[in-house]
Each structure stands twice: as structure tokens, then as C-alpha cells.
Amino acid sequence: MELTLESIKDTLERYEFKISTVPKTETLPFDQAFVFLGRDETGRDWVLHLRLFEGQIPASDGGKAQRMQFLNLFIHLPFRIKQEQYEQVCRLICILNKGVPLPAFGAGEADNTLFYNYTYPSLDGTMDEDVFLTLVGMVVHVLSSHIDSFEPVATGKQSLDEMMGEAKQYAAALSSDMEEVENA
């Protein structure tokens, strides 16, 4: 599929996503779309922000630069980081980004926000539709799998060390259960 606002909208609507689009203007030089992903258990909206923009990669031999198209997938997590928790959340981001298939968690120091920000590059301005849908699905999966790790630390309900201790206890219990199964 072409990486255009229209093709992205058509593809997502075929799969019953709710989407609104905003074409680029002089003041906002990129096309964008907002995809409603649903609500979490507490009723907070999840909205994926898609941005399409162009850029160039300089040629290594000093020749003509290569034009590229980029699809940026961005979503704010629906809570703020308490200032005193910022360092712990950044440590958690580093830990989780090592283990997720698309490492793209980040934090905004100025506004204490937590976000996921992944950019897909395309040399020819196209993207396989299955790859696109898989990418959107992976973003949803990564977020839903790790929101429960971030929120308690970000809001100060649990320290990162407490969370890591619980994870180690869980891993030890799981290992013990596996040993029992193997010995049975």
C-alpha cells in the first residue's frame, strides 16, 4: 500500500478502526491521523497518533541524497509521571525497551508524560498492508502488555525495586513449578 493518509484510512476502516485524518497545511507540514484503539479498564481512551512525513538520507559518497517517507506511530500513556518517580520510570523504560520487539518507550521530562514513539522508514513510499496492520497490532500489544508495569511506578504506588522483587519471586515460583512438572 502507498504510505498516504487515504490508504491508511481505507485500510484501518476496512478493519473497523475509528479514524480521523488531518491533512498537512503550511503551518503543520505533515499528514496525520488519529486512531481510536478503545478504552482501558478504567475508561481512559487510547488514541494512536499517526504522522506521515518526508526526509532525506545523505548519500555516503557525496552524491544525491535519498528521499524517504516515514510513518510515525505515537501514543501518550494516559497518566503522568510524578516528578519524584521520574528517575525510576526512566530506569523501567530502559529495562522494558531491551525486551520488547519494537523498543520505543520514552518519557517527556518537561511535561512528565510517558509515551510510545516508533517510526517506520520507507525508501519507496510504500508499506506492505500486512506489515502495517502487524505494526499497529504490535504497538497495541506492547502497550497493553506493559501498562501495568508503568502506572504503579509512575504514580508512586510502587517502587521499581519492589516491582523487580515481585518479578524475581514470580520467576522463581514459575521455575519451581516447571521443575515439579519435569520431575513428575
Least confident range of 14-23, 102-111, 167-176: 167-176
Q: What is the pLDDT of residues 37-67, one digit of tens each?
A: 988 888 999 999 999 999 888 888 878 888 8
DSSP β-ladder status, 18-22 and 31-39 = antiparallel
- Distance, first Cα to last Cα, the chain: 52
The pTM score is 0.85
Please compute Rg for the chain using Cα positions: 20
- 47: Cβ contacts below 8 Å, ≥ 6 apart: 34, 35, 36, 37, 75
Asked whether residue 103 is assigned to any structural domain, the reply reads yes
Task: Examine residue 118 and state whether it is found in any structural domain, yes or no.
Answer: yes
Is residue 72 a part of any domain in this protein? yes
Please indicate, yes or no, if residue 174 is contained in any of the structural domains.
no
Residue 60 lies in a domain: yes
CATH of the domain at 150: 3.30.1460.70
- Whether residue 177 lies inside any domain: the answer is no
Coil/strand/helix, residue 158: coil
Average pLDDT, the chain: 91
What angle is formed at CA 175 by the lines to CA 170 and CA 179, rounded to 5 degrees?
Answer: 150
Contacts 24+ apart (CB under 8 A), 61-68: 66/123, 68/121, 68/122, 68/123
Residue 166 — very low, low, confident or very high, per pLDDT cuts 50/70/90? confident
Label residue 181 by pLDDT band (50, 70, 90).
low
Residue range 17-35: average pLDDT?
A: 95
Per-residue pLDDT for 112 more than 90? yes
Question: What is the total count of domains within the chain?
Answer: 1
Residue 168 lies in a domain: no
Domain holding 101, by residue range, is 5-157
Residue 145, C-alpha cell as written in the block = 502488555
Question: Is residue 126 assigned to a domain?
Answer: yes
